[in-house]
Amino acid sequence: MSDADTILEEGPRDFIREIIRADLAAGRAQSVVTRFPPEPNGYLHVGHVKSICLNFGIAEEFGGRCHLRFDDTNPVKEEQEYIDSIQENVRWLGFDWGEHLYYASDYFEQLYEWAEHLIREGKAYVDDLSVDEIRARRGTFTEPGENSPFRDRSVEENMDLFRRMRAGEFKDGEKVLRAKIDMASGNINLRDPVMYRILHASHPRTGDAWCIYPTYDFTHGQSDAIEHITHSICTLEFEDHRPLYDWYIENLPVPSRPRQYEFSRLNLSHTVVSKRRLIQLVREGHVRGWDDPRMPTISGMRRRGYPPAALRDFARGVGVTKAENVIEISYLEHCVRDVLNKTAERRMAVLNPLKVVIENYPEGEAEELEAVNNPEDPAAGTRRVPFGRELYIEREDFMEEPPRKFFRLAPGREVRLRYAYFITCQEAIKNDAGEVVELRCTYDPATRGGDAPDGRKVKGTLHWVSADHALRGEVRLYDHLFARPDPGAEGDFTQDINSDSLAVVEDCLMEPALAGTTVGEAIQFERQGYFCLDPDSTPEKPVFNRTVGLRDSWAKIQAKDRVKR
């Protein structure tokens, strides 16, 4: 079997890949060229992850290439900050466009020439109607549109006006260039769409060279043709635009004939992915910026500690279909846990400390115990953890009057300290308010390492840190940004923001090995969840973000479903 046959037979299967296999087998395409074409007017979000993985993934699978192209046709909303962040995040996800970085603004002169071509062919005209007037005459899904009174201008007049538009003779909104197609078309997108509008605004790349800018619909397909894109893959909201995409391709002397294919966009529960809503969250201060770990932006997920491999796994697991659906955010979290369980080293940290004094441990002495870095990865090795007379455990790991199924520490009860010894609580010390502030315990020196030589068993194993060696830091506990799975379903989406989406815990105590953690590094705090070091950290005060907890609700649901079947 040849390499080409192997490509056609192996790999993921979905309707887009089947189209590509068929095109290659039939010779309709000699190679595969895709593109990821973001508009640089915001940060990439989780919905873009699916598109990035699909376009770059297909190119890799079929031995082709994927371009990164910025569709930068609206200088009013575009910023270099967005361009830089998009490139950084695509690379972080694990993809590279090589030398194939393009901008629609690279093609402004060619697009202008093609616009004049349509004018000469009698297929475009300059319209003096305002945006509101054009909208009012557009018609409805059941009523045809109404021709503009300027639709029948001569070729000469249209050419003169269009060139004067370019020369800057008219004000913003005073005139537009429209394609002359069919105001009675059943597809509203074909009712003489606007091709150029006047915008006296400086462009991030072309500066003040232009005061007229092409619309997205006129730019997109022609940019694909210039770059010889073979398969133009986009989301379903562009399905109704495909006839217009094809009309421009068929009526212009373009160098290639790309085809557009649509798939369902990614909708995630407890999340908004509308760029307008994300901008609102940032501008109104509901979050701390585009990279707030509660945001569904790639920058936010990255800061929260989501590994790129998990996002790729998530995109692969979601699949590619035409069916609109909502993916449970618990599945994304499952993918994150699955990767971090294999890769994150384990450490101990106490978020709500309760002091423990081991009365029969020698005063002034300390020792080092061996702890496993990652039980899923023997190659990760071990570390040394200091142990002494005074320790801290989680306050919730002690109860004076425990219920029947509480297996942690209580008066007279013996538990295991992780990697250390068995201890028994002898006394709980209280303050004047009756609150427990300290535990007096004893330990069994023969149980070093966590096992008793006489074979006795304990049901509870607690994490801990040594009081004399603990590193103090801050922990930020993140939860879903929205309390309901469908934000805005019953009104203003900001009213559905989860008031408990962030809890900041000061003065947490951590084992000293965490002092060597680097920003973004994934760590499992044993029994607590997965965390990563935040850029706000300083050597004196590390700040850890909770990436995700240890409980996997999605996996439990899947297990129950399998049992039912």
Q: Give per-residue pLDDT as tens, 229-252.
A: 999 999 999 999 999 999 999 999
With 0-12 CB in 10 A as exposed, 13-18 as middle and 19+ as buried, what is 237? Answer: exposed
Those residues with Cβ within 8 angstroms of residue 184's Cβ, 6 or more apart along the chain or in another chain: 139, 144, 145, 191
Q: What is the mean pLDDT of the chain?
A: 94
Residue 447 has pLDDT above 60, yes or no: yes
Token pair of 494, please?
């900001």
pLDDT bracket for residue 563 (50, 70, 90) = very low
Among the listed residues 265, 316, 384, 527, the single catalytic one is 265
**Residue 541 vs residues 51, 118, 231, 264: alpha-carbon distances, Å:** 38, 64, 50, 44
Q: What is the pLDDT of residue 5?
A: 41
Q: Which residue has better confidence, 4 or 260? A: 260
Provide the 8-state DSSP code for 445.
G
Q: What is the pLDDT of residue 556?
A: 65
Continuous H helices in 404-527: none
pLDDT bracket for residue 558 (50, 70, 90) = low
Q: What is the pLDDT of residue 552?
A: 80
The pLDDT of 369-391, averaged and rounded, is 96
pLDDT bracket for residue 297 (50, 70, 90) = very high
Provide the 8-state DSSP code for 96.
-
d(C-alpha 490, C-alpha 486), whole Å? 9
Residue 271 has pLDDT above 50, yes or no: yes
Structure confidence by residue, pLDDT tens digits, 249-259: 999 999 999 99
Structure confidence by residue, pLDDT tens digits, 16-58: 999 999 999 999 999 999 999 999 999 999 999 999 999 999 9
SS3 192: coil
Catalytic: 384? no
- For residue 61, the tally of other CB atoms under 10 A from its CB is 15
Residue 85 φ then ψ, to 5°: -65, -35
Place of tokens 């297990």: 559
Per the CB < 8 A criterion, the answer to whether 418 and 461 are in contact is: yes
Residue 565 has pLDDT above 70, yes or no: no
Q: What is the pLDDT of residue 3?
A: 38
Q: What is the pLDDT of residue 7?
A: 38
d(C-alpha 252, C-alpha 214), whole Å? 15
Closest CA to 119 of 218, 227, 4, 17: 218
Catalytic: 265? yes
The pLDDT of 140-165, averaged and rounded, is 97
pLDDT bracket for residue 6 (50, 70, 90) = very low
Per the CB < 8 A criterion, the answer to whether 350 and 394 are in contact is: yes
Among the listed residues 77, 137, 205, 275, the single catalytic one is 275
Those residues with Cβ within 8 angstroms of residue 253's Cβ, 6 or more apart along the chain or in another chain: 114, 117
Q: What is the pLDDT of residue 9?
A: 46
Angle subtended at Cα 317 by Cα 316 and Cα 322, rounded to the nearest 5 degrees: 85
To which H or E segment does residue 465 belong?
strand 465-466
| Structural domains present in the chain | 16-263 (3.40.50.620), 266-346+473-565 (1.10.1160.10), 349-463 (2.40.240.10)
Per the CB < 8 A criterion, the answer to whether 547 and 338 are in contact is: no
Q: What is the pLDDT of residue 2?
A: 39
SS3 455: coil
Catalytic: 39? yes
Place of tokens 């007017």: 41
Q: Name 113's bridge partners.
A: none
Pairing of strands 529-533, 422-430: unpaired
Q: What is the pLDDT of residue 464?
A: 98
Provide the 8-state DSSP code for 332.
H
Q: How far is CA 177 from the centre of its chain?
A: 37
The pLDDT of 156-181, averaged and rounded, is 98
SS3 107: helix
Among the listed residues 21, 39, 277, 384, the single catalytic one is 39
